[in-house]
Homo-oligomer: A and B are copies of this chain.
Amino acid sequence: MQKRKHITIRDIARESGASLTTVSLVLNKRDSRISSATRKRVLDVVDRLGYRPSRLAQGLQARRSHIIAILVPELRNAFADAYVGELISAAYECAAKSQYKLLLEMADPDFIARGQYRELFDRHFVDGMLCIGVTSRDSYLADFEDGLRPMLIINNYIDGLDLNYVRCDYEAAGRLAAEYLLSLGHHRIGLIRGAVEVRTSHDLCHGFEMALNAAGHSLPESMVVDGKYTEEGGADAARLLLKRDPKLTAIFAGNDKMAIGAMATLTHLGRHIPDDLSVIGCDDLRQAAYCIPPLTTIQTPLHDLGYHACECLLDLVEGRRRSVRETRPVRLIARESAAPPPKPG
């Protein structure tokens, strides 16, 4: 790479015959003290030379990078995950609107062990951090309790840690799914839950079970299987549930990926969805509408969530708020993967 000569504010000052201060004042619109003649002279030179202030120098001076880190969990293809991607897209939209940039980070063991999550702040790389997919095992997050480094967790919260979060109402999600399946006439229902380390997955289970109980049904422990939030996990879980109760008529999965994995397996086993067996997911990913059959699901407003999370984080960064604890509503999207159970016999 050849070097381009970088035009600095000094060049502008020299060419326009003004001082550094004057140029800076003009550029930052704090130019009440500057005559319009001088202003014009400066701006003309800026234009002519195509001057662009160095972010590095500005950042150094302001002790701000105007960059937000977005932390994703350690998965081989974390950024290819539809759930993660949806949140990132939304956060990007919000950040861009406020002139912030988004920096990618992955919570691999090294990132944690070497305290890089702290370095990111201490080395002035970023002004704030948005965390996706953290779990109660991520004890390093305790370092953020002091509020000195603005951080916000999306769609989870951690018992015993006083951290900022924005999440969906997963208890309501569980409840809505149960009520819908009950209303269709199901009561032999299996639940594929998300990873146990995720607090909101408990909320979902709890909401689901409460709604069943309220209708006089119970949810035996054997009918709840951990699907780890993945397609494979969902597929395995569906197989296991069906083995435990071959007369199962419905499955609710804690996210769409597991639901999709479950559908693939069930179809493979010769079950017809929804005639033999209903499946409900959770999230309403884009794919959900393109499944065969289109997936009935609980919509967690991921776009809204990501956008709002970023907004709140910027509030923290810029000192407009001291803490964020928010829960957003969810709703059922009825498509074709859930129907009344088959008539017995």
Contacts and interface: CB of A to CB of B under 8 A. Distances in A.
Interface of A: 1-2, 4, 6, 50, 52-57, 59-60, 63, 65, 67, 76-82, 84-86, 88-89, 92, 96, 101-106, 119, 122-125, 147-148, 150, 231, 260-261, 263-264, 267, 286-287, 290-292, 303, 316-319
A308 to B, nearest CB: 16
Given A104-B101, A125-B101, A267-B292, A80 B76 contact: no
Contacts of A124: 6, 54-56
Contacts of A303: 77
Contact of A52 (B57, B78, B122, B147): B122
B102 A104 contact: yes
Contacts of A52: 119, 122-123
A266 to B, nearest CB: 10
Nearest to A51: B122
6 contacts: A52-B122, A54-B123, A55-B65, A77-B89, A82-B82, A260-B290
A102 B86 CA distance: 18
Most-contacted residue by chain B among A54, A67, A81, A105 (CB, 10 A): A54
Contacts of A82: 80, 82, 85
A292 B290 contact: no
A148 B105 CA distance: 28
B67 A56 contact: no
Contacts of A1: 147-148, 150, 316-319
A290 B261 contact: yes
Given A55-B124, A82-B80, A82-B82, A103 B65 contact: no
B264 A290 contact: yes
In the assembly, how many copies of this chain are there?
2
B106 A103 contact: no
Contact of A292 (B53, B79, B264): B264
Shortest Cβ-Cβ A-B pairs, 4 listed? A80-B85, A79-B88, A79-B89, A56-B60
Contacts of A119: 52
Given A79-B79, A79-B88, 16 more contacts: A1-B147, A1-B316, A1-B317, A50-B122, A52-B119, A52-B122, A79-B92, A81-B85, A82-B82, A101-B104, A101-B105, A101-B125, A102-B103, A102-B104, A263-B292, A292-B292
A118 to B, nearest CB: 8
A177 to B, nearest CB: 22
A106 to B, nearest CB: 7
A104 B92 contact: yes
A286 B231 CA distance: 10
Contact of A286 (B60, B65, B77): B77
A182 to B, nearest CB: 27
Contact of A77 (B85, B101, B104, B148): B85
Contacts of A318: 1
A173 B133 CA distance: 36
Nearest to A53: B123
